[in-house]
Amino acid sequence: MKIMLLKNLIMVAAFLSFGIAQAQDVSGTVSDASGPLPGASVVIKGTTTGAQTDFDGNYAISGVPEDATLIFSYIGYASQEVPVNGQSTLNITLQEDAQALDEVVIIGYGSTTIKDATGSVTAVKAEDFNGGVIASPEQLIQGKSAGVQISQSSGDLWCRG
């Protein structure tokens, strides 16, 4: 009886140590050409597990499989996918994505670029438009942006968000 219990304990310990050996902690710094990027996203590809960089651009993720790929992203920068390959420290430098920075945004009182916008910005693409019979342009985007309410009274159009 004691031998059977000891064998079972050894099996459980072996399985636990095998699982721990394949997962590791990964940390590092995310920066650009001018310094650290606070608030950059670091996610394990194919999962929702990730972290955000602190004020100094540092991040740490626990339980990363040795064969995982990390996706580094930040607004206005090109996303970068980096395989872990058993490394515990990954320092990444993101490159600016000029196309994203120069995107024009139409706002309620004019137009601007994304990098100069001071309020919240939501993009609605043609694929996102409502289908079916559309009687007016505002019906194309009705319900496609959280917190925005479109209503029409008389000849005026009102958008509130």
The 10s digit of each residue's pLDDT in 39-88 is 999 999 988 889 999 999 999 999 899 889 999 998 788 899 999 988 89
Residues 10-20: pLDDT tens digits? 776 666 555 55
Are 18 and 90 part of one and the same domain? yes
- Total residues belonging to the chain: 161
pTM for the model: 0.53
Any domain includes 17: yes
Are 94 and 127 part of one and the same domain? no
> Domain range spanning residue 137?
122-161
Q: Which residues fall within 8 angstroms of residue 139, CB to CB, at 6 or more apart?
A: 130
Parallel, antiparallel, or unpaired: how do β-strands 35-36 and 41-44 relate?
A: unpaired
Q: How far is CA 20 from CA 7, 15, 152, in A?
A: 20, 9, 60
Give the count of beta carbons closer than 10 Å to the beta carbon of residue 62.
11
Any domain includes 83: yes
Mean pLDDT value across residues 86-102: 81
Any domain includes 68: yes
Query: How many domains does one find in the chain?
Result: 2
Any domain includes 79: yes
Are 71 and 6 part of one and the same domain? yes
Are 24 and 81 part of one and the same domain? yes
We report the CATH number of the domain holding residue 36 as 2.60.40.1120
Report d(CA 33, CA 121) in Å as an integer: 26
